[in-house]
Structure 1
């Protein structure tokens, strides 16, 4: 399909035109998630540039290589009448706490256009799920888009879990955008693409984002960005062939997150108990060694012999 045709499809997209109508959904959220500094904000700027037919503008603040990531919120950007891009806060370490926070954002349990404060424990995560009852976002159709920089090299093991859980949370295979995908050798890029597919990701789109310094429009850049957006909405249309219930989906997401928080909390407590037990064993061994050394010294004094 030609770029202009894809653009028109995106602009005119409506959930009302899906096979069974909107089924209670009011808009599509294209949710970008992943590591901090991998190009989520740049991708949003590129999407807006391609769709708006205007001069390049930095809608989403791009990370500074010295200061670090700029996005500390869940920022939303209207892409078309029924389609919104969401720039979620990215993770730095991808530890269990940050992964839990990614799931909260991806499941739409944190408010849009508000700061995202990393949780400190899994009870905090559960409280955030319960607090989300005040939000009116059950009618959002969520599309997961994982953004990964090819410059980071091969994928960490945690990404496989995230891709799998993103599918469970949203009901869709995550689309993957590989930024800086054309600046590495083809063989290396193919390994990254194959790895993502092995993990259960859907379509993988290697691309180069437009930037403030490099915003000369090219047909190649336009086409791959439009194809990513077009195919993402086509996936929504395909999924909407099934009978869906947005309220029930949110209940199931909540169940997933509460289970995740509980299981991680239990594991954390178990790990803490193992560490405490290990520390006690070390302390007991240390005390025993001290006692044995003292006993040896006392024995040496009594026998008036040097300590061996």
Structure 2
């Protein structure tokens, strides 16, 4: 399909026109998630640039480097009347705390356009889930979009967990956007695409984002980004053929997050016990060393006493 037809489909997309109607959903949220500094903000700017068909503008502030990410909030950007892009705060170390926060954002349990602080544990995560009940966001149809920079390499364990969890949380196959396409060797890009396929991802799109320094419109860049948006919405159209209930879907997401938080709390508890046992073992070994040193000192004194007499 050419760029004009894809753009027209995106502009005119409405949940009302799906096979069973909107089923209680009011809009589509394309939820961008993943590591900090991998190009989520740049992708949003590129999408807006293409869809608005105006001069390039930095709607989402772009980080100077992966070490200094700009997005500390969960920012939303209206793409069309029925589709909104969400620039979620990305993780750095992707430990259990950060991963849990990413899942809270992805599951729509944190308010839009507010700052995101990493939760500190099980209780904190439960409080955030409970607080989300006051938000009127059950009617959002969530599409997970994992944005990844191939230049960073890949650690399959972490990515596989996020891809699998995103599918479980939303009930939709995640779209994978590989940024900085032109700066990654073909063989490396192919290898990373194959790795994501093995993780279960099927919708994988290498793109080169527009920037302030490079905003010359090209058919190649337009096609790659529009295809990503087009296919993501086609997935929504396909999913909406099923009988869905927004409230029930939200309950399932809540159950997943509660289970995740509980497992994480147990893992932390086991880790704390291991660390305590290790600390006790080291203390015992130090005591044993001290006792051995005392015995050796006593033995030296005995030999010295016998030599004198």
TM-score normalised by length of structure 2: 0.96
Comparing 295-304 with 181-190, greater Cα deviation is found at 295-304
Comparing 41-50 with 156-165, greater Cα deviation is found at 156-165
Partner of 1:60: 60
SS of 1:89's partner is: coil
Shift of 1:157: 2.0
Question: Is 1:77 matched up with 2:77?
Answer: yes
The aligned runs of 1:103-114 (5 Å cut-off) are 103-114=103-114
1:188-246 Cα deviation digits (max 9, x unpaired):
11101010111111211101000000000001111111110011000000000000011
Partner of 2:50: 50
Show structure 1 runs of 5+ residues with no match: none
1:230-289 Cα deviation digits (max 9, x unpaired):
110000000000000110010010000000000110110011001101110110121122
Size of the aligned set, in residue pairs, is 306
Partner of 2:262: 262
Distance 2:156 2:199 in 1: 11
The aligned runs of 1:1-308 (5 Å cut-off) are 1-65=1-65, 68-304=68-304
How large is the Cα RMSD of the aligned pairs? Answer: 1.3
Show structure 2 runs of 5+ residues with no match: none
CA contact (8 A) 1:179 1:207 kept: yes
TM-score normalised by length of structure 1: 0.97
CA contact (8 A) 1:36 1:90 kept: yes
1:80-121 Cα deviation digits (max 9, x unpaired):
010000000011111111111110000000000000001122
Distance 1:192 1:139, change over 3 A: same
CA contact (8 A) 2:38 2:66 kept: no
